[in-house]
Amino acid sequence: MPDATLSSKHQLVIPAAVRKQLGLKPGDQLDVQVEGDQAVIRKAPQSYVQSLEKVTSSLWKGYGQELRGDRDQWDQER
């Protein structure tokens, strides 16, 4: 991967190859996190809500039907 140099104003230019690979455009937001002794830079999602929905969608798949079934069973037992 190409190297980048921090300027005297603490600015970092992301190499063109990396910008192209990530599809970065001027004005895009980046997520910067520290993991151990590394700085990890990721393209920030347009919407964090949509990103969370993608991550959790498989966890909740079919949950509505399961919940209705549990409620129906509970109603029958009462």
Segment-wise mean pLDDT, segments of 10 residues, the chain, 78 residues: 88 92 90 92 76 66 79 88
50 shares a domain with 37:
no
**pLDDT of amino acid 2:** 77
25 shares a domain with 10:
yes
57 shares a domain with 75:
yes
Total number of domains constituting the chain: 2
The count of other CB atoms within 10 Å of the CB of residue 41 is 15
Give me the domain span that covers residue 62. 46-78
76 shares a domain with 57:
yes
The two tokens of residue 32 are 């910067």
55 shares a domain with 23:
no
50 shares a domain with 33:
no
Alpha-carbon span 48 to 58, nearest angstrom: 17
75 shares a domain with 50:
yes
